[in-house]
Amino acid sequence: MATEEKVYAVVPPTPGSEAYWEGANAGKLLLGHCKSCNKAFYYPRGACPMCLSTDVEMRPAKGTGTIYTYSVMRPAKPVYVIAYVTLDEGVSMMTNIVDCDPASVKIGQKVKVVFKPREDGSKIACFAPA
């Protein structure tokens, strides 16, 4: 078990992305959703990457998924596990796997969203074993 926890960097939101970070801070993982072609996407953005419709909104994800791939970043202090998680909604996102021994992480493992602190005290979505 990692003894020291990573504190996450804050990248300033861009116009339209504030709601994503407000959601994370309130414990909700939000996905982009296109109301025109009715598809979910990640990361959320102002234009649907399938059809370029700007009739888009953010909708909460269930917060559960499966590890598609990962890697343990050994030179980092603290060591962290970067990963892509495929959410049950069918879209994948880059994230970190936390609250477990990095050596125990496996492709195909079921995970659930947890929220970890950023440098300014707000929160960011990470995933822990389900």
Partner 1 sequence: MSTKGKAYIVGAYEHPTRKAPDKSLAQLHAEVAKGAIDDAGLTKDDIDGYFCAAGDTPGLGGNSFADYMGLRLKHIDTTDTGGSSYLLHVGHAAEAIAAGKCNIALITLAGRPRSEGVQTGTNPRMGNSSQPDLQYEFPYGPATANMYAMCAMRHMHQYGTTSEQLAWVKVAASHHAQYNPHAMLPKVVTVEEVVNSPMVSDPLHRLDCCVISDGGGALIVTKPEIAKTLKRPLVKVIGTGEAIKHQMGGRDLDLTFSAGRWSGKKAFDQAGVKHKDIKYASIYDSFTITVVMQLEDLGFCEVGQGGKFVSDGNLISGVGKLPFNTDGGGLCNNHPGNRGGMTKVIEAVRQLRGEAHPKVQVKNCDLALAHGTGGSLGTRHVGGTVIMERE
Q: What is the CB-side half-sphere exposure of residue 1 using CA atoms within 13 A?
A: 5
* In the complex, least distance from residue 130 CB atom to partner 1, rounded to whole angstroms: 19
SS3 state at 123:
strand
* In the complex, least distance from residue 9 CB atom to partner 1, rounded to whole angstroms: 5
Residue listed under structure tokens 């791939």: 69
In the complex with partner 1, the residue whose CB is nearer, 16 or 129, is 16
Residues interacting with partner 1, by CB under 8 A?
6, 8-14, 17, 20-21, 32, 39-43, 45, 48-50, 68-76, 80, 82-84, 86, 90-96, 107-108, 118, 124
Euclidean distance between the first and final Cα of the chain, in Å? 16
